[in-house]
Structure formats: structure tokens, C-alpha cells
Chains A and B, each alone.
Chain A
Amino acid sequence: DSGVTQTPKHLITATGQRVTLRCSPRSGDLSVYWYQQSLDQGLQFLIQYYNGEERAKGNILERFSAQQFPDLHSELNLSSLELGDSALYFCASSAGGAGMLVTEAFFGQGTRLTVV
């Protein structure tokens, strides 16, 4: 158990809909990262938050947004969903990531999103 909790584990929704994925980081970790993994693809970095602030943005579509709350949990919002958004979405947390060395990241089990 990595200590990172992602909910829900599975999500099936229709095109055009909006979903919210939730992540609770490991206790004490201030950095949260979101990644997208499509079939046979590596992990595409979407966005990083550190202690409530957005710190880095990767290949995140404008239809996607995220935030990190004061209790450090994070949510990834995906809207106007398309078939191509079907993927595994991972959240990871680490102790560092802002002004300090990045140490190992701890991953949740992911949310498998299927858009039909």
C-alpha cells in the first residue's frame, strides 16, 4: 500500500460528460502529480501541485482542470469527454517538488476511465 488513495477505481461515462477524479496523497506529502496513461503508452504528465499551488503543467488539455485543497487532497476535473480520453489516470505524491529535491513518488492505484 503506497498510502495514496484514488477514487473511484473505475468510471464509465458517455461522451460530452464531466467527471471528477479524487486523490488523497500520502500523509505528509505536499506535492501531488497527475498522469494519464493510455493503452501501451507511457505516463503523460498532466499537472503538479505543491501545497495548494499549481507548480508545473504538462500536456493537459484545456478541457481538463485540477486543484489541490487546503487538506492537500486533489481533484482532477475532466469535461466534454471524448472517446480518446479513455485511459488510466494516476495520482502520485512526493515530499519534495518545490524548491527542494524531488524524492521518490508514491502512486495510487489509478482510476480507469472509459468513455463510451
Chain B
Amino acid sequence: SQQGEEDPQALSIQEGENATMNCSYKTSINNLQWYRQNSGRGLVHLILIRSNEREKHSGRLRVTLDTSKKSSSLLITASRAADTASYFCATAAYSGAGSYQLTFGKGTKLSVIP
């Protein structure tokens, strides 16, 4: 089952604009991660935010986490055509027997128009 649900499912913006994607989840988490996937290829890790953090930056990426609302957002500033990809949030949560499980949402498909 999906733990995270991204919103919107698809987003189309002009180059130079900012893109914001949201993720909601259902259970308590240890951390939340964002990944990027270019068409049909493997996922690439972008950023990880721990449950005791509220905001994190990496280059043009800004991630926020609100554990009270069980939601996160990913902001990509000054978007480029090369940012066109699908973006997934993944939640790391305790799954029992001393294990943590990484569960992905369905993703947001971002198109940046040159």
C-alpha cells in the first residue's frame, strides 16, 4: 500500500518558475525522503529530512516537514528544462522486527517548458 501521496499528480510550468509538490502520509515516520526519476530510469535520492527537522535546503531544493499534519513539500526554485522528471516522496517508518521500511508514493510528474 502507498504510504505517501503526492499532490499534484502532474505539474507543468515555464522555465524559471518555482515548482511546489506536496506529500501526505498516514503513519509515524522516522524520516521522509524525496527522489527523482527520469523517464523509465532508476530513482535518484534528492534530500532527506528527519522527523525532528522542519526545513532543509539543498541547492535549489527546499523541503519542509510538518509532522502534526503528516505532510511535506518540495520546492524547486528557478526551474530548468532539465528538472523535467517524476518526483516521489518516500517515508521511512518502523515496520517491526527491528526494521525500517521505505515506502513510496505515486509521484508528481513535473514538466518544465523551455
Binding site for B on A (CB under 8 A): 2, 4, 33, 35, 41-43, 45, 48, 50, 55-56, 58-59, 88, 90, 92, 94, 96-110, 112
Contacts and interface: CB of A to CB of B under 8 A. Distances in A.
17 contacts: A2-B44, A4-B42, A42-B2, A42-B104, A48-B99, A48-B101, A55-B95, A55-B99, A58-B1, A100-B100, A101-B31, A101-B92, A102-B30, A102-B92, A105-B43, A107-B35, A107-B44
B43 A96 contact: no
Interface of B is mostly: strand
A42 B6 CA distance: 10
Given A56-B101, A90-B42, 6 more contacts: A35-B104, A42-B88, A56-B99, A97-B102, A105-B43, A110-B40
A43 B37 CA distance: 11
A60 B100 CA distance: 17
A104 B33 contact: yes
Nearest to A101: B30
B63 interface: no
B106 to A, nearest CB: 4
Interface residues on B, range: 20 to 34
A44 to B, nearest CB: 8
Interface of B: 1-2, 30-31, 33, 35, 40-45, 48, 88, 90, 92, 95-107
Contact of B105 (A35, A42, A55, A99): A42
Contacts of B88: 42-43
Greatest chain A CB density within 10 A among B30, B101, B102 is at B102
B100 A97 contact: yes
A88 B40 contact: yes
A105 B106 contact: no
